[in-house]
Amino acid sequence: MDLTKKHVLMRLILLMAITVFTFSSCSRSLEIIKREVTQLPHRTIYIAGVDDSIDMEGLVVTLHSRGGRVVSVPYEDTEWVIVEHEIDFLIPGEYEVFLYWGEFFFGSMSIQVVPE
């Protein structure tokens, strides 16, 4: 199995597990009550005029259920974390990146763009 198919299969399995974890009608104790960023991406500093997109690799989101279960999920294995920002990779400065679970805001982080 090539790497792309393996990643797709891993994401599908993780998405199914999270779906069961999130939407289980058997027990309200599985309801997710808190989402939090527990590890920032490996890169939070970018070079103006060189970099042109944000790299979320290394970001870890932790889910807490009403029943006390805790699951940490790397960003690479999620399809449900939405990243929004207005970073201008040509202009140095500090920018805020916002994280959503659907329409549900659950965290933010700062990204720096520095002169070349």
Q: Is the pLDDT of residue 48 over 90?
A: yes
Domain count for the chain, please give it.
1
What's the CATH number where 81 sits? 2.60.40.3630
DSSP states along 58-105:
T-EEEEEETTS-EEEEEGGG-SSEEEEE---TTS-EEEEEEEEETTEE
Distance CA 66, CA 76 (A): 25
- Domain residues for the domain of 13 are 3-114
Instruction: Tell me if the pTM is above 0.75.
Output: no
Contact in structure between 64 and 34 (CB atoms under 8 Å):
yes
pLDDT band at residue 19 using 50, 70 and 90 as cut-offs? low
Distance CA 113, CA 49 (A): 9
List pLDDT tens digits, range 67-84: 999 999 998 888 888 999
Q: Is 33 exposed, middle or buried (0-12, 13-18, 19+ CB in 10 A)?
A: exposed
77: nearest Cα among 66, 63, 67: 63
The average confidence (pLDDT) of the chain is 85
